[in-house]
Amino acid sequence: MSEETKAPNAPEAPAPATKAENEQATGAELTVNDLAALKQIIDVASQRGTFKPNEMVTVGQTYAKLEAFLGEIQAAQQAAETEQGA
């Protein structure tokens, strides 16, 4: 039996979208509240023993970066509030 093999037609690649178009199309955005929720998720997951011992270093480093970033944002917000009140 002889079967013909046809190469599938490759779909045309879409034109590259700008950042604004990507955000509008997906509706994806990451807020400070989302980051705070991620921090809480890591807290709960680590308390429940979700992470393997060899993963704890990476989780801990990421958690520390997230905590520092959120601390900087909170300090900047407090400074902005202080300036507006003065």
Q: Could you tell me if 34 and 75 are in contact, meaning their C-beta atoms sit under 8 angstroms apart?
A: no
* pLDDT, position 64: 96
pLDDT tens per residue across span 62-79: 999 999 999 999 999 999
Mean pLDDT computed over 2-6: 50
Whole-number average pLDDT of the chain:
80
pLDDT tens per residue across span 37-48: 999 999 999 999
Task: Answer left, alpha or beta for residue 18, where phi above 0 means left and psi between -120 and 50 means alpha.
Answer: beta
Q: Where are the alpha helices (DSSP H) in the chain?
A: 19-26, 32-47, 56-85
Spatial distance between the Cα atoms of 86 and 70, rounded to a whole number of angstroms? 24
